[in-house]
Amino acid sequence: MKHLISPLDLSMDELDDILTLGQNIMENPERFSHVCDGKKLATLFYEPSTRTRLSFEAAMLNLGGSVLGFSSADSSSAAKGESVADTIRVISSYADICAMRHPKEGAPTVAAMHSRIPVINAGDGGHNHPTQTLTDLITIKTLMGRMDNMTVGMCGDLKFGRTVHSLINALVRYLNVRFILISPTELRIPDYLRQEVLIDGGIDFIETNELEKYMPELDILYMTRVQRERFFNEEDYIRLKDSFILDAAKMRYAKKDMYVLHPLPRVNEISTEVDNDPRAVYFKQAEYGVYVRMALIMTLLGLTE
């Protein structure tokens, strides 16, 4: 049985198969509408979510399956002190597969150790968010037609942003991907990512706090939110939250074929005036998340069309 805890749990071949299947589903969703008849997905969300939980649920419903679960720790027996290990032991007899979001790094790994069904990490603290990465990759593959030879700008909270950490880990596996990491000094990528993944991997990258300067070089701009919930100190959050705001004036520096991605939710970091720019693809990206999660559910359950 396979779980998905980190993007690196998938080999390059497995990843490519999931993205290709996701694209096939995108083109002919009705062909897949009974693949999961009789199967159940449990969504165990100990932390708020709109896209991830609902796109997982939509994915399973689109495949003909059913969903059950909880959307906050408060509405589960976690509020009474039940451990993740005990919860997953029980859920293993209620569902065929589960997606778990948890504020603590490593919680889905603990769940996987005690589970009899595939566990999908739907985001653990500031650590990983592998299904957001699948969403990002299918968006890049579908819109750009390639995953290599590009300059990717990542902007915002690169320290706590689990989507950034997962996406860097995934993109370094492709050829000639260069990173421009744009953030306030306090919100730069964690040391382990800089040293073990980028420097040790011989990856070309720049860390900077200048967005406009590097805009003309970018093929992808991946904007992220400064996450209030990860700060220990409200003053720091208020000081840093509006460090970078992408607006129409800054978009004039960008290539005509650059794409702006964002895992969402957005707060202030992309002005709504950018939404109608054809290069702004973050809502399309959220839509693609359903198709790639359909492909992932099928793959982890060992189901074919």
Catalytic residue positions?
Answer: 51-52, 80, 101, 129
Under rule CB under 6 A, residue 265 binds ligand CP: yes
The residue among 40 and 51 lying less far from ligand CP, judged by its C-beta, is: 51
**Which residues are 253's β-sheet partners?**
none
The HSE-up count of residue 102 (CA atoms within 13 Å, CB side) is: 23
Q: Of 44 and 198, which has the nearer Cβ to ligand CP?
A: 44
Closest CA to 147 of 15, 299, 29, 9: 15
Residue 227 touches ligand CP, criterion: CB under 6 A: no
Per-residue tokens: 294? 């359909």
x/- letters, 28..67, toward ligand CP (CB under 6 A): ---------------------xxxx---------------
**Single residue of 119, 147, 263, 295 touching ligand CP by CB under 6 A:** 263
For the bound state, the minimum distance from the C-beta of residue 102 to ligand CP, rounded and expressed in Å, comes to: 13
| Residue whose CB is less far from ligand CP, 96 or 124 | 124
Q: Any idea what the Cα angle at residue 296 is, between residues 291 and 301, rounded to 5°?
A: 130
Contact between 264 and ligand CP per CB under 6 A: yes
**Assigned token pair, 118:** 């595939």
Helices and strands in the chain, H and E counts:
11, 9
Report the nearest approach of ligand CP to the CB of residue 190 (Å).
Answer: 19
Site for ligand CP in 126-165 (CB under 6 A): 132
Min dist. Cβ of residue 279 to ligand CP (A): 20
Say how far apart CA 111 and CA 100 lie, in whole Å: 9
Binders of ligand CP in range 109-128 (CB under 6 A): 123
Unique residue bearing structure tokens 């260069």 = 178
Smallest gap from residue 161 Cβ to ligand CP (A)? 11
Nearer to ligand CP, 115 or 128 (CB): 128
Place of tokens 């009974």: 34
Tell me the sheet residues that pair with 67: 41
Residue 47 and residue 103 in contact, taking contact as beta carbons nearer than 8 Å: yes
In angstroms, the first-to-last Cα distance of the chain is 20
Nearer residue to ligand CP within complex by CB, 50 or 195: 50
**Binding region for ligand CP (CB under 6 A):** 49-52, 123, 132, 263-265
